[in-house]
Amino acid sequence: MQSIPRDDTFDVSLALLKDGYRFISRRCAQHNTDAFHTRIMLRPVTCVMGEDAARMFYEPGRFTRKMAMPPMTLMSLQDTGSVMTLDGAAHEHRKKMFMSLMGPDSLGEIVSLFERYWRDRLSVWAQRPGITLHHESEEIICRAVCEWAGIALPDAEVRDRTRELSAMIEGAGAIGPRNWKGLALRARTERWARDLIDQVRAVPSSEEPDRPIEILARHRASNGELLSTKVAAVELLNLLRPTVAVARYVTFIALALHRHPEYRDKLLQDEERWLKPFVQEVRRFYPFFPIIAGNATQAFDWHGEHFSKGSWVVLDIYGTNHDPRSWDQPTRFLPERFEQWDESPHNFLPQGGGEFLSGHRCAGEWMTIELMKSATRLLTKGMSYEVVPQDLSIDMSRMPAIPESRFIIRQIKRTD
């Protein structure tokens, strides 16, 4: 088997920032391979893409996320002590707690809240000359996820909390002011979350915890001890922040309906057939997570090469979702491809791959899909609107990416 080539550039950090989501796939194309060695931030790394690479990367127990992400990214998104930084039995124990929140009744509740708050806003939107859908969606989801979690969020705080959670997402893939802003606002939000955890714990209860915030506040680690207030607060934010991030997918849904109006017609004619394939294709086609990184917990062999313990590997999520070996015509938006998809956990990685309990696959993936299905129904059957002339370009060097204008609409009317 051909050995993995080494990129000629001594360090590709600047190239990664320049090319963004397309960096690894472009370099792989140059080398005619699905893996190459290089350096990022002066650290040796192997960049990989494709279904076979994902299968290697998500082999249970092979990689740890500890020290695999740049510190600023970790602090913006997960922070120390979170489920993402755990491995083995401790990780599986914590992950089971998160997965317990994702049952059908729980998902149905947050979807109902999302739809209620969306419809509440329709009358407000109808009176305005125009709205920015991305910002409005973030606030709606923030309200919904807080109520679902058991957090009483006063109307006066909604905008600030949304802004704080959004800034963490915006700053995660940036270097400089955008990242600094996210970190500064995260510190404020963590103080708020710690206060919420303390308030729950201050009220003795002999009943089984019901709301997600109660389950988090009273959750015991695999050693039987309560999570520290800090870690419980971090995990609370790990429920709220990624859910608010689904607003990016809502914006991409609107963009897909605008650029591919034939699928609006298909959804109106046969929602049962087209709804989930449409949502899945939005997740595959549009940029969300760019990459995921891991450090090898043990030595292993792959592609004819030996990887020692501690080897740093970065998997291209966006590139794998656009790999022509797995996806026919990957640069075209074709929801019908998901009518025949084999449901492989290794070729479709919008929020990571692998298994839920034994691996680091996003616990909120099912919630994401259900919220996206709801948003698609609302945008097709629940309202009419006009898309104004605007800049809908997507800067693929900006991580996370979003249409430049955040999708502006006007002439909004409720239709259901």
Residue 390 to residue 411: CA distance in whole angstroms: 15
Average pLDDT over residues 70-76: 63
Question: How many CB atoms neighbour CB 381 within 10 A?
Answer: 14
Show the tokens assigned to 194: 């710690």
For the purposes of burial, counting CB atoms within 10 Å of the CB of 44, is it exposed (0-12), middle (13-18) or buried (19 or more)? exposed
For the chain, give percent helix, strand, coil, nearest 5: 55, 10, 35
Q: Mind giving me the DSSP string for 30-81?
A: HHTSSEEEEEETTEEEEEE-SHHHHHHHTSTTSEE-TTTS-HHHHHHHT-TT
Q: How confident is the model at residue 77 (pLDDT cuts 50, 70, 90)?
A: low
Residue 216 to residue 228: CA distance in whole angstroms: 11
Per-residue pLDDT tens digits for 280-334: 999 999 999 999 999 999 999 999 999 999 999 999 999 999 999 999 999 999 9
Task: Compute CA distances 24 → 240, 259, 315, 317, 320, whole Å.
Answer: 30, 27, 9, 10, 10
Strands (E), 104-244: 131-132
Show the tokens assigned to 289: 């997570």
Show the tokens assigned to 168: 């963490």
One-letter amino acid for residue 138 of the chain = E
What's the pLDDT score for residue 71?
65
Average pLDDT over residues 185-190: 84
Residue 49 to residue 355: CA distance in whole angstroms: 18
Residue 82 has pLDDT above 80, yes or no: no
Q: Choose among 168, 171, 143, 170: nearest CA to 157.
A: 143
Residue 358 has pLDDT above 70, yes or no: no
Residues 250/137, Cβ–Cβ less than 8 Å: yes
* Structural domains of the chain, with CATH: 13-414 (1.10.630.10)
Which sign, positive or negative, has the C-alpha torsion 289, 373, 55, 347?
negative
Q: Which residue has the higher pLDDT, 104 or 91?
A: 104
Show the tokens assigned to 257: 């309906």
Residue 279 has pLDDT above 60, yes or no: yes
What's the pLDDT score for residue 73?
67
Residues 391/404, Cβ–Cβ less than 8 Å: yes
Average pLDDT over residues 340-346: 91
Per-residue pLDDT tens digits for 365-400: 999 999 999 999 999 999 999 999 999 999 999 999
Q: Choose among 167, 114, 161, 159: nearest CA to 141.
A: 114
Question: How many CB atoms neighbour CB 301 within 10 A?
Answer: 9
Average pLDDT over residues 238-251: 97
What's the pLDDT score for residue 207?
80
Q: Choose among 147, 88, 84, 91: nearest CA to 114.
A: 147
Show the tokens assigned to 37: 């060695």
Per-residue pLDDT tens digits for 199-238: 999 998 768 888 999 999 999 998 899 999 999 999 999 9
Show the tokens assigned to 125: 């939107």
Residue 40 to residue 309: CA distance in whole angstroms: 18
Task: Compute CA distances 105 → 102, 122, 212, 245, 349, whole Å.
Answer: 8, 26, 13, 22, 26
The share of the chain scoring above pLDDT 70, in percent, equals 93
Residues 303/1, Cβ–Cβ less than 8 Å: yes
The CA R_g of the chain, rounded to the nearest whole Å, is 21
Show the tokens assigned to 396: 């693929």
Q: Which of 65-74, 109-118, 188-197 is the least confident region?
A: 65-74
Chain mean pLDDT for the chain: 92
Residue 1 has pLDDT above 50, yes or no: no
Q: Which of 30-34, 148-152, 350-354 is the least confident region?
A: 350-354
What's the pLDDT score for residue 76?
55
Q: Choose among 119, 108, 114: nearest CA to 415.
A: 119
Per-residue pLDDT tens digits for 149-185: 999 999 999 999 999 999 888 876 656 666 666 667 7
Per-residue pLDDT tens digits for 42-66: 999 999 999 999 999 999 889 998 8
Q: What's the order of all strands across the beta sheet hosting 131-132?
A: 131-132, 408-414, 383-387
